[in-house]
Structure formats: C-alpha cells, structure tokens
Amino acid sequence: MLPILTEYMKKVCTILFVFFLLNFIYSCSSSWRAHPDDIRYRMCDPYSDEPLQMIFVPGYHEAVIVVEDCDLFRRQKVAIALQNFELAWQRHFGKDISVFRNLRNLAITFGGVKKMVIPL
C-alpha cells in the first residue's frame, strides 16, 4: 500500500506544480506591461516637426515641461530638481499641501529667450 500512496502523491504534486506554474505565467503575462499605454505624449521626440514639445514630468501628476530641444532639458532631471526643491521647502518651511498640489500641476517652459520674473 505504501508504494501506491507515494505514486499517488507524486501525481498530486505534479498536478499542483503545473497548476501553480500556469497560474503564475497567466497572472504575470496579463497584468504586466513594459510601458504605459500611450508613451508618445510622455517622451520627447527629437525628430518632431513641432518647434515646442510638451512633456510630462515623471512622479508629478500633471506637471509638464515645454522644450525646444530634447537634449538640453531632460524630464528626469527636472523631476530630480522638483524633488530637491520640495524636500528643501519641507525642511525650511514645513509640509504644505498647497505646495505639494502646485508642484504636481505646474508648467515649466525652457528656451533660449531671457525671461524676467516680476513679483506681484
């Protein structure tokens, strides 16, 4: 009776292993994607005919940068600068929800034209 039981256990273990393996493969392949659905609007296209391009900043909900040249102002570097600014602000002034919201809903323009900031 013992050899029959071990043979039965081998079959059960094999069936369970195959079941879990197929379940794992199905769950990973159906929900995992290497890129978001529409990545074109998030990346800068160096071959675009448009003079200006609007690119979303990673990690900041609707923050965008408007660039003339893709190589000069990378969105990853802008995200790092925004993170450093936010951390410095929190250290100096404390946490503020309006600063948090405004940084995530910001439009930054880069270009060769000199700009002046006039205080209100």
Q: Are residues 28 and 58 in the same domain?
A: no
What confidence score (pLDDT) does residue 5 get?
Answer: 60
115 domain residue, yes or no: no
β-pairing, 53-56 vs 107-109, is unpaired
114 domain residue, yes or no: no
Compute CA distances 51 → 4, 46, 48, 79, 96, whole Å.
Answer: 77, 10, 8, 23, 36
Question: Helix, strand, coil % (nearest 5) of the chain?
Answer: 45, 10, 45
Show the domain range for 11.
1-32
120 domain residue, yes or no: no
pLDDT per residue as tens digits for the range 29-45: 655 455 554 555 567 77
pLDDT per residue as tens digits for the range 42-56: 677 778 888 888 888
Q: What's the domain count of the chain?
A: 2
22 domain residue, yes or no: yes
119 domain residue, yes or no: no
6 domain residue, yes or no: yes
53 has which bridge partners?
67
